[in-house]
Chains A and B, each alone.
Chain A
């Protein structure tokens, strides 16, 4: 089955530094990946759609200069949280699919970011 690997699973960084999170499709190619954010005891909120070879599409209210997304290959999308602050501490999750159709979207295991 489709496997999406996300790395790191957790990271602690100092305020003002940048953190990169990787999302890889291990056994399929993904032209589109999605990045979500989840605060404790809250639901997943879509941040952006990552398109291979083109610019990401950000949801309303998400700062594109703060959350940099790069989808340079069909198996890798990265999310970089720039100049991180404590309020950026959250659980970040990606999803990807080998084909269109809601059934096909597999989620990564998530990255817990803590900014101190």
Chain B
């Protein structure tokens, strides 16, 4: 069983819709949670970062963590064609900073 599970998609949504992405993880030792956006043939770009259960909002992005269920989500409001990319969840522990376990990535396509 992979430590982080993420549906690879693709997920196609019309412009303006809400994009909903999620990951599940198996190890309760994971302590911080991140979402990255990756355009084709580029390195990942950090979107959201959180330690705790609950919601964190930044502009059109909302990250949600439920540690009891080992479930994390990313919501993108008012999606734009420029949001078309692969979104990766990543999780880590504070005793191994920087060593991240990534989900497979979900390809998102926002159609005009």
Q: Which residues from 93 to 112 on chain B have a C-beta closer than 8 Å to any C-beta of chain A?
A: 97-105
Instruction: For the complex, give the distance between the alpha carbons of A103 and B97 in Å.
Output: 9
**A43 and B102 contact, Cβ closer than 8 Å, known pairs A97-B97, A100-B97, A102-B97:** yes
Establish whether residues A102 and B8, one from each chain, have CB atoms under 8 Å apart when the complex forms.
Answer: no
Contact of B41 among A106, A108, A110 (CB under 8 A): A110
Distance (whole angstroms) from the CB of A115 to the closest CB of chain B: 17
Give the interface of B toward A (CB within 8 A).
6, 8, 32, 34, 36, 41-46, 49, 88, 92, 97-105
The 15 sampled A-B contact pairs (Cβ below 8 Å) are A6-B43, A32-B98, A34-B99, A34-B100, A43-B104, A44-B44, A44-B88, A95-B98, A100-B98, A102-B98, A102-B100, A103-B34, A103-B49, A105-B46, A106-B46
Establish whether residues A107 and B43, one from each chain, have CB atoms under 8 Å apart when the complex forms.
Answer: yes
Tell me whether A76 is interfacial, beta carbon within 8 Å: no
Instruction: For the complex, give the distance between the alpha carbons of A32 and B101 in Å.
Output: 17
Q: Which residues from 90 to 116 on chain A have a C-beta closer than 8 Å to any C-beta of chain B?
A: 91, 93, 95, 97, 100-103, 105-110, 112
Establish whether residues A102 and B49, one from each chain, have CB atoms under 8 Å apart when the complex forms.
Answer: yes
Establish whether residues A109 and B43, one from each chain, have CB atoms under 8 Å apart when the complex forms.
Answer: yes
Establish whether residues B8 and A112, one from each chain, have CB atoms under 8 Å apart when the complex forms.
Answer: no
